[in-house]
Amino acid sequence: MADDAESVVGNEVVEQVAHLARIQIDSDSVSNYASEMSGVLELAAQMDQVDTSLVEPMAHPVRAVQRLREDVVTETDRREAFQDIAPSVENGYYLVPPVIE
101 compared with 71, residue with greater pLDDT: 71
Dump pLDDT digits (tens) for 25-47. 999 999 999 999 999 999 999 99
Query: Is residue 84 in a domain?
Result: no
What pLDDT does 58 receive?
A: 81
The alpha carbon torsion through 53, 56, 57, 59 (nearest 10 deg) reads -160
Query: Is residue 56 in a domain?
Result: no
Which whole-number Å values give the CA distances from 17 to 10, 30, 37, in the listed order? 11, 11, 11
**Spatial separation of the C-alpha atoms in residues 15 and 25, rounded to whole Å:** 8
Q: How confident is the model at residue 3 (pLDDT cuts 50, 70, 90)?
A: very low
Query: Is residue 30 in a domain?
Result: yes
Query: Is residue 64 in a domain?
Result: no
Q: Buried b vs exposed e over 55-88: b needs ≥16 C-beta within 10 Å?
A: eeeeeeeeeeeeeeeeeeeeeeeeeeeeeeeeee
What pLDDT does 1 receive?
A: 46
Domain count, the chain: 1
Return the CATH number at 35.
Answer: 1.10.20
E strands present in the chain = 89-90, 93-94
DSSP state of 70: -
pLDDT of 2 over the 60 cut: no
Dump pLDDT digits (tens) for 48-91. 999 999 988 887 777 777 888 899 999 999 999 999 999 999 99
Domain span at residue 23 reads: 5-48
Global model pTM greater than 0.85: no
